[in-house]
Amino acid sequence: MPRLPSSPAFWRSPVRGPWFTSVLGLVLLVGIGVLFVTGLLSYAAYNPGLAGVNDKTPGKGLLGLYLFAWPTRPVWLYRLTQGAHVTLGVTLVPVLLAKLWSVVPKLFALPPVRSLAHALERLSLLLLVGGGLFEFTTGILNIQLDYVFPGSFYPLHFYGAWVFFAAFLAHAALKTPAALRNLRDLRGEHRTQQAQLPDPGQHAGAPRDELTSPEPGPPTVSRRGALGVVGGGSLLLFATTAGRGFDGPLRETALLAPHGGPEPGAGPGAFQINKTARVAGIDARETAEENWRLVVEGRGGTVRLTRAELLRLPLHGAELPIACVEGWSTSDQPWRGVRLRDLAALVGHDPDHAPDVLVESLQRHGSFRRAALRANQVRDPRSLLALFVGGAPLTPDHGYPARVIVPAAPGVLNTKWVARMTFGDL
């Protein structure tokens, strides 16, 4: 009679066992903890609590309780937190898959439910495995396919993260003590046997666990070798992803993800572009000198400025990166333009007490055509309505005639092709 996956003997790999699962589990404990914290930081960086236009999850309720005003220093803050979030997520994929592989006999075990406690445990495992696969899949699709779920990525990934993390915490609380014990108890034996199969856990006098095959097949690789394959896979992913956070030769090492490889084009505007002017539907006629006007509104009234008039205001420089939620970023670029605080002053606000601002683009469709900035971002003297980068006027793709650039903020807050700014408490 053929064996079914529900039979423990169906699963023959001698690599499976408590030691292998414990090592992977502890790596994920640390890694997923970091993913969760950097993910929450990323969410806060959008300032979703500030205004409806920034908020893709209006139903967040208590989950938004921790939100805080995202700081403007150090300028590389979001570059670091989001680069770490995405790079670590990609790097952990082999570990996650190996961990699931190592416990797969349990997922098929029958009867599906033995008692109420067992039913609860299985439900939490369902949320854990489902939630984990869901978070990794949505995250990777988002960086690979450039916003496949327009607008809906944020709610999916955000609520999914909380479901996943709740199940993860429960699982970690239940399993970490045993995982640590497994490693400690098995370490000495492990050393002397040089990771020979079968799993040392089988000889530790412990009752047979559900992970170890009762009829292991012949070994083809040692447990350490198997871990080496997983670690090697992670290392390969890391090495072909991490470079997306740097300019020049390092970016060229990022073969696997978009915004890796060579910089686009040549000249001062030759750094990574998120959406081109064409994709955003920006018509060259609207941005031409004779047609484009910047409308600035505030307590003291409304002014309309041509580009030539903007150029007569005091211009300031700031060296700031672009750091996208997708995990790629540029080095600091030399921007030049009018300070946001000076624009607030132009419409009747004391620059040191300048309020929030709503920035709107010429773009008519798409979730990032407008964004709200918080007062602390407006007041920072390095926050600019940039007109130049690298000593030349902005290129159309980088937001000509004018774009916002704010220190430490996620890319989405740096609105391109700006048409209107409304200062006031949001």
Ligand X SMILES: Nc1nc2c(c(=O)[nH]1)N[C@H]1C(S)=C(S)[C@@H](COP(=O)(O)O)O[C@H]1N2
The binding site for Mo ion (CB under 5 A) comprises 274, 324, 411
Binding flag, residue 130, ligand X (CB under 6 A)? no
In whole angstroms, the minimum distance from the beta carbon of 324 to Mo ion comes to: 3
Q: How many CB atoms lie within 10 A of CB 342?
A: 18
Binding flag, residue 369, ligand X (CB under 6 A)? yes
Contact between residue 9 and residue 213 where contact means Cβ atoms under 8 Å apart: yes
Candidates 50-58, 85-93, 157-165, 412-420: pick the segment binding ligand X (CB under 6 A).
412-420
Query: Based on the number of CB atoms within 10 Å of its own CB, is 359 exposed (0-12), middle (13-18) or buried (19 or more)?
Result: buried
| Closer residue to Mo ion, CB minimum distance, 253 or 367 | 367
Which of residues 417, 422, 423, 426 is near ligand X by CB under 6 A? 417
CA-CA distances (angstroms) from residue 426 to 41, 53, 202, 372, 419?
A: 21, 10, 63, 8, 19
In whole angstroms, the minimum distance from the beta carbon of 165 to Mo ion comes to: 24
Binding flag, residue 153, ligand X (CB under 6 A)? no
First to last CA, the chain: 70
x/- track of binding to ligand X for residues 305-344 (CB under 6 A): -----------------x-x--------------------
Q: Taking Cα atoms as reference points, which of 71, 27, 129 lies closest to residue 377?
A: 71
């020049």: which residue's tokens? 248
x/- track of binding to ligand X for residues 218-257 (CB under 6 A): ----------------------------------------
x/- track of binding to ligand X for residues 380-399 (CB under 6 A): ------------------xx
Binding flag, residue 414, ligand X (CB under 6 A)? yes
In whole angstroms, the minimum distance from the beta carbon of 43 to ligand X comes to: 15
User: Pick from ligand X, Mo ion, none: which does 349 bind, CB < 5 to 8 A by kind?
Assistant: none
What is the C-alpha separation between 417 and 294, in angstroms, rounded?
A: 10
Contact between residue 336 and residue 315 where contact means Cβ atoms under 8 Å apart: yes
| Closer residue to Mo ion, CB minimum distance, 182 or 274 | 274
Which of residues 31, 366, 381, 390 is near ligand X by CB under 6 A? 366
Residue 240 has what DSSP assignment?
A: T
3-state secondary structure of 373: strand
Which alpha helices (H) appear in 256-306, and where do they start and end? 284-287
Which DSSP helix (H) or strand (E) runs through 33? helix 18-45
Q: How many CB atoms lie within 10 A of CB 280?
A: 21
In whole angstroms, the minimum distance from the beta carbon of 289 to Mo ion comes to: 28
Binding flag, residue 158, ligand X (CB under 6 A)? no
Residue nearest to ligand X (CB): 411
Q: Which residues contact 133 (CB under 8 A, 6 or more apart)?
A: none
In whole angstroms, the minimum distance from the beta carbon of 325 to Mo ion comes to: 5
Q: How many CB atoms lie within 10 A of CB 361?
A: 22
Contacts with ligand X, residue ranges (CB under 6 A): 272-275, 280, 322, 324, 361, 363, 366, 368-369, 398-399, 411-412, 414-417
